[in-house]
Amino acid sequence: MSTLLSSPVKNSSDYSVATINTERLTKFYQADQQVKYLHLQAEIEVLLQELQTIKEQKLIK
């Protein structure tokens, strides 16, 4: 069974993977579980952006 977690969408091929993952999410999980998953996915995106910012700041110094 493949995981539903995916990387941020960076190009069109990534977009199709994200679409497939969303379709799996809506097909196999109840609405409350979908909301939890999407919330966690958004939180992961924020943390990854923060990590990228920290890395860039370290490179500047």
The pLDDT value recorded for residue 44 is: 95
Average pLDDT estimate for 39-54: 95
Model confidence at 47, in pLDDT bands (50, 70, 90)? very high
Q: Is residue 23 situated within a structural domain?
A: no
Number of domains composing the chain = 1
Q: Is residue 18 situated within a structural domain?
A: no
Angle formed at CA 29 by CA 23 and CA 31, multiple of 5 degrees:
95
Which runs of consecutive H residues, i.e. helices, occur in the chain? 12-28, 31-60
Q: Is residue 6 situated within a structural domain?
A: no
Q: Is residue 4 situated within a structural domain?
A: no
DSSP designation for 4: S
Model confidence at 1, in pLDDT bands (50, 70, 90)? very low
Q: Is residue 1 situated within a structural domain?
A: no
- Rounded to whole angstroms, the Cα distance separating 20 from 5 reads 11
Closest CA to 36 of 47, 25, 23: 25
Task: Judge whether residue 23 has pLDDT over 90.
Answer: no
Q: Is residue 34 situated within a structural domain?
A: yes
Structural domain range at position 50: 30-61
Higher-pLDDT residue of 10 and 53 is: 53
The pLDDT value recorded for residue 27 is: 85
